[in-house]
Amino acid sequence: MAKDEDRDGSVTAMRLFVGLQPSQAVREALASLQERLRAAGVEGRYLDPANLHLTLAFIGEWPEDVTACLPPVGEPFALTLSHIGVFQRAKVLWAGVEPCPALDALAARVRQNLQAAGIPFDPQPFNPHITLIRKPVLPDAALLGTIRPQPAAMTVGETCLYRSERTENGMAYTVIGKMTTEGVQKCGH
Kindly give, in sequence order, each residue whose CB lies less than 8 Å from that of residue 158, ignoring residues fewer than 6 positions away. 21, 72, 73, 178, 179, 180, 181, 185
What secondary structure letter does DSSP report for 144?
G
Amino acid at 55: T
Kindly provide the residue ranges of all beta strands, DSSP E only, lying in the chain, ordered along the sequence: 14-20, 43-46, 54-62, 77-87, 92-97, 130-137, 153-156, 159-167, 170-180, 183-186
Active site residues: 53, 129
Kindly report the backbone phi and psi dihedral angles of residue 68, in degrees, each rounded to the nearest multiple of 5, phi listed first.
Answer: -65, -15
